[in-house]
Amino acid sequence: MVVDLILGFFRLFWYGVAYMPKKNEIVSGFYTIYYLVLVVMLIVSFVASNFDHFLVLVVIFVIASFMLGIVHYITDILPIIRMRRWFFQIFKDIKLKTENKLPYFLALENISEYVSVYSFRCYCPTRVWQAKKDFLEMHMNVKIFDIQQNPKDKSVIHVFTQNKPLSANIPWENKYISDDDIFNIGMSHFGVVGMDLAQHPHAFIAGETGSGKSNILKCMIHQAIYKGFEVLLIDFKRGVSFAGFDDKVTVYYEYKDVIKVLRDLVVETANRLDAFRAVKVDNLKDYNLAFADGASLNKKIVFIDELAELLKTRDKETAGILSDSIETLTRLSRAVGIHLIMAIQRPDATVVCGQIKNNTPYRACGRFADKEPSRIVLGSDIASTLPNIKGRFIVKDNDMQEVQGFYYPKDTYIPVAKKLRKPKAKLKPLAEIPKEEAPLPKPVTNKVKDAPKRASEFEFDFSKFKK
């Protein structure tokens, strides 16, 4: 009994010394000052051969540490003990155990305002946890997002739970702009979600009318302007939904202009690759570093609002040119700093070929009433299970997660854009390379003077298009 009391005293003292300073800045500052005072008093006492004042400070230090240890025990240790007992009872009730050993609760951490993670020491495989997931949700009275095994310690299981639902309206703010080439598009339960052009150079944004695709495009255009990208917009609605960017973005809405733009980009891609070879680099960043005096190349980003309308034309020759150009760009333009963001209302395997799809790894898919469009975009019917909330998407990059896309308010202020670094005329590597066109789609014949007629039958109704 006496030994337990002594050990308990030293344990509380250690809590006050070791743990409280880590979690409390005020306590940490107090201990820093106190240690300095103790050192000074020790030196003074040693010089004066008087240890009374030093002993008084030591006693105060021990009492203060003991009291802080009690506070730490009450606020941190005791709740864990109570939660551990609570989970023991739950695991007994649902019979979640291995070799008569119940999972041992370790910690609770709030990852964000939306998600908490419970950690357990357990030798049950994750499939056993998944089988008991429904029972866990009922006993804990929470929604469980995921159950994962710690990659560094296989005996630790993490259970991710929802604190509150995602907000249905998250306005865009300039604080969401990243300093690098990450284009943030919304908020998940785990925080801000974005598209990293270094990993995913091209993207599909899919969703029914009114799903919020235009808001995502607006947020990305806003960031592209700020980051100094050259922005091109292909939109057969004549850019009506993007009127706020009229003075900053070039809009193309005639087939002959779109064909020329895409063909020029294919040629530029080939020329940039040849320029890279001339200076022995394989990406735009290294190339621009080689010309730090200002003779560098701009990054370009092309937004296509409604890809299916662009490609679904009665003129097969034009459709082939457009499809081949986009296919070439998605395949080759990654390294040269040219990116495609393609919005599509109704994914159709007959319109979007496999090459374009396979070279466009980043996907954001809104809710669809039927499962097939979700399967075409994501390879899963998960988007058909989304709640009917405007701006709610499933984003697929390395994983899939539910995201609430940012709402882009009218008259949103765009910060001062970074200056575009235009190539100088003396840029030798490009000047020395003959501008021979790489194998390109057959050019449009002179007969095509006006925009070709578009197909009269679509899989979607544009009269209901609201943005």
The alpha carbon of residue 318 and the mean position of all alpha carbons in its chain are separated, in whole angstroms, by 36
3-state secondary structure of 196: strand
Range in 34-43, 58-67, 298-307 with the lowest mean pLDDT: 34-43
pLDDT at res. 264:
94
Segment 9-23 shows an average pLDDT of 64
User: Does the pLDDT value for residue 450 go beyond 60?
Assistant: no
Range in 255-269, 333-347, 373-387, 443-457 with the lowest mean pLDDT: 443-457
What is the average pLDDT score of the chain?
80
To the nearest 10 degrees (0 to 180), the angle between helices 52-72 and 25-48 is 160
DSSP output for 177-224 = --SSSEEEEEEETTEEEEEETTT---EEEE--TTSSHHHHHHHHHHHH
3-state secondary structure of 253: coil
Domains in the chain (CATH in brackets) are: 2-91 (no CATH), 97-162 (3.30.70), 174-456 (3.40.50.300)
Q: Could you report the per-residue pLDDT of 233-285, keeping only the tens digit for each?
A: 999 888 888 988 888 888 998 888 999 999 999 999 999 999 888 888 888 88
Residue 117 corresponds to which tokens in the numbers above? 């993670």
